[in-house]
Amino acid sequence: MKRRKFLKSIGGSLTVSSLLISSANSATQKNQYKWKMVTSWPKNFPGLGVGAENLANLINKLSNNRIKVKVFGANELIPPLEVFDFVSNGGAELGHSGAYYWKGKSAACQFFSSVPFGMNSQEMNAWLYYGGGIELWEKLYNRFNLIPRPAGNTGVQMGGWFNKQINSVNDLKGLKMRIPGLGGEVLSRAGGVPVTLAGSEIFTALQTGVIDATEWVGPYNDRAFGLHKAAKYYYYPGWHEPGPTIECIINKKAYNLLPEDLQLIVDVACKAANIDMLSDYTAKNNLALQFLKSKKIEILKFPDEVLLKLKNLSKEILVEISKSDAITQEVYNSYSKFSSAVSPWTKISDKAYLDIR
């Protein structure tokens, strides 16, 4: 009799446990968030496209699929330069792109991507995470129903591919070059003609002479696009993009619907993706550079005269655009102050070490 009562009590407990587990599973299913991510990069493109996929996978796994992100490459759902508006309007919950593409929304956007002759990737991360940069970025994007997060960095880029040598400042005059953001403004002031093109359009434009030159990223990505087949002169350094940050933009309404733990998962995943992409580029750029050298292209340094001219023009332009509106002035002041403060340490640490290595 006691045994039967004991087994019956166990059966009852198991039934209750089963109901609780079933209820928990139902709640999990009920609270699953199916998100879309649109990007400005070709699907699975080395570095940038893979970085978007890695971020999506991190969010999926860390949330135990409570958030399920599906990635759409450039032109799969929308054109590459419509990411900002699409996410802002709720067409997708996430976007993966570069903030300098949105200078038409606000001149301040460009500071959160890369500034000519500005901070490198390590300094950019320091400003964003510990210098008030992200808070200002959030303030800027708030009006667009967006939350921004750093989600990658390529490190210092190359100066670009050219179909003629650049021996003096005069060689920049009339030069049609694919170069977005502040770099394009500087080229324009030097007499060149900046052109904004999505990555997928660059090779054909360069090969057919629609443009005379292009910057893209660096050896890792440039090899993937086959740019060495369309131009023979490869210049350095990447004065225009010394520390380009890749952004993940999140639809604010969608983010606010998440419970706090899932919001934290999205934030942490972005931070992890940011570090991972920079490591990926650092590892892969050298391998790609060796390949490009084997193709007998000419790898050249910009003349000092050209770099000095571009640097002076950059300073002028930054001061001018800082006066665009109050938020741009605030961002410019924060960026400039942090850059000046961090520069002495960079000089006696990283630069001093690299000079003697």
Ordered domains of the chain (ranges, CATH): 33-156+243-283 (3.40.190.170), 160-241+294-341 (3.40.190.10)
- With a cut of 50, which residues of the chain have pLDDT below it? 3, 6-7, 9-10, 13-29
Nearest CA among 338, 340, 345 for reference residue 131 = 338
Q: What is the pLDDT of residue 35?
A: 98
Q: How far apart are the first and last CA of the chain?
A: 84
- Strand-by-strand arrangement of the 176-178 sheet: 193-195, 176-178, 213-214, 160-162, 233-236, 298-301
Residue carrying the six token digits 């001061």: 319
Reduce the DSSP state of residue 121 to 3 states and report it. Answer: helix
Cα(281)–Cα(155) distance, rounded to whole angstroms? 7
Closest CA to 321 of 44, 69, 110, 11: 110
Cα–Cα distance, 280 to 288 (Å, whole number): 12
Rg of the chain over Cα atoms, rounded to whole angstroms, equals 24
**Helix, strand or coil, per DSSP, at residue 157:** coil
Whether the Cβ atoms of residue 254 and residue 177 lie closer than 8 Å to each other? no
Do β-strands 245-251 and 94-97 pair in parallel, antiparallel, or remain unpaired? antiparallel
Predicted local confidence at residue 196, as pLDDT: 87
Handedness of CA 233, 234, 238, 240 (dihedral sign): positive
Q: What gap in Å lies between CA 45 and CA 205, rounded to an integer?
A: 19
Rounded Cα–Cα distance for residues 67 and 38 (Å): 16
Are the beta carbons of 81 and 101 closer than 8 angstroms? yes
pTM, rounded to two decimals: 0.88
**DSSP classification of residue 302:** P
Q: Please state whether the peptide bond connecting residue 237 to the residue before it is cis, i.e. omega within 30 degrees of 0.
A: yes
